[in-house]
Amino acid sequence: MNYDFLSPTQIVFGWGRRSELGKLAAKLGSRVFLVSGSRTLERIGVIEQVAAGLDQCGVKSERFAAASREPEVADVDLLVTEFLKRELTERDVVVAIGGGSTIDLAKAAAAVVRNRQGSSVADFLEGVGRGMQITQPPLNVIAVPTTSGTGTEVTKNAVISSYQPAFKKSLRSDLMIPRIVLVDPELTVSLPCETTAYTGMDAITQLIESYISRRAAPIPQALALSGLKLAIPALPAVVRDGSSRENREAMSQAALLSGLALANSGLGLAHGVAAALGSHCRVPHGLACAVMLPTALRVNMSVRERELAEMERLFDNSHSNDMESAKAFVSRIDGVCRDVGIPPRLREIGVTIDQLPALVSGSRGNSLSGNPRDVSDQELLEILQQMW
């Protein structure tokens, strides 16, 4: 067996530890581009507090607002243009505070601004770009997630959307893993319950898909099991009561583990289709993953019965064989989806029946290539028709 395992240089985890951001930034540079996406954190003064903390450590900061949507090509290009108006040096640090969208935007801009052979981030995107590569190290990035979901704070890619033409593709390079990740679960307490549910289901989908991926490897698999053990009980509880410190910490931990796992194992069918649901039907990423997850598990059951059974045994050891355990695990996931308010049908999330063929072609990408078994276009169309 051969494998590589990549992760950020430093992971700082803990309730309230955003107070250490100034010290961490001062290790990497003297000026910070603070990219923030959360209006709520802005309103309750957290961003102000963070900027003051940087100031106290002798780090100048400039603020850039991220739009509250999944980043589009034009958003990245605009931020790159803004960065380029400053005289950039090695001592500039990008601090991204927000959900996965904000962190992806910041990671992409930090990379493109240092790799100017392309005119737009679109030139670098997998499958649709001009095949340009990130060869120069990006500006140093410190990622501070404010949701417990995407895990993008520890991954080597940034997902960028386009609607005309419709695609959702990655900018990817080993160089793009943020240098420092600061996970302060207290930042997630103000999340509305719908966002908590969607982002949490994204983390669960990432943990499971990386565990059964055809590129699965021992370290990410160990991380995925630890994450699932935390997330499966914590998510329904935290959707009911968002103020629970214990459950918020569990979800932040699980999301972090899901990012480390997916960055080193890849994903599968649910994420493949979720990309198409995002670009063709504008379904939020976490919701799209959640709707697809139970079906993706049933589709892969025949080739991953043992792994699904292993995941079930984290919670219940009483089934008589792998087949029973694997089925029980899928029912368990159905139950979590129901508990946190995920509708089971595509038509309930705004998909029209005539969009299904476009969803099939839009699903072919890096995620689907990790799915444990091949799924033909015809089979995928039938799967989506049944789910509609």
Residue (106 or 139) nearer to Zn ion, CB: 106
Smallest gap from residue 150 Cβ to Zn ion (A)? 5
Q: Check binding of 310 to Zn ion (CB under 5 A).
A: no
Give the interface segment with Zn ion, choosing from 89-97, 140-148, 197-205, 249-257 (CB under 5 A): 197-205
Residue (9 or 68) nearer to Zn ion, CB: 68
Smallest gap from residue 33 Cβ to Zn ion (A)? 26
Fill in the amino acid letter for 104: D
Residue (92 or 202) nearer to Zn ion, CB: 202
User: Exposed, middle or buried, 116 (CB in 10 Å: 0-12/13-18/19+)?
Assistant: exposed
Residue (61 or 150) nearer to Zn ion, CB: 150
Count of residues engaged in binding Zn ion, rule: CB under 5 A: 1
Binder of Zn ion out of 202, 209, 307, 310 (CB under 5 A):
202
Smallest gap from residue 252 Cβ to Zn ion (A)? 16
Smallest gap from residue 347 Cβ to Zn ion (A)? 22
Non-local (6+) Cβ contacts of 272 within 8 A are: 363, 364, 365, 367, 368, 371
Smallest gap from residue 262 Cβ to Zn ion (A)? 7
Residue (70 or 202) nearer to Zn ion, CB: 202
Separation of alpha carbons 261 and 311, rounded Å: 15
Separation of alpha carbons 323 and 318, rounded Å: 12
Binding to Zn ion in span 97-156, by CB under 5 A: none
Give the interface segment with Zn ion, choosing from 69-77, 125-133, 199-207, 298-306 (CB under 5 A): 199-207
Q: What element of type H or E holds 64?
A: strand 60-65
Measured torsion, CA atoms of residues 109, 113, 117, 119, in degrees rounded to the nearest 10: 60
The region, left, alpha or beta by phi > 0 then psi within -120 to 50, assigned to residue 39 is alpha
Q: What element of type H or E holds 275?
A: helix 269-281
Smallest gap from residue 276 Cβ to Zn ion (A)? 13
The token pair that represents 335 in the structure block: 């139950």
The token pair that represents 171 in the structure block: 């900018």
Which positions lie near Zn ion, rule CB under 5 A?
202
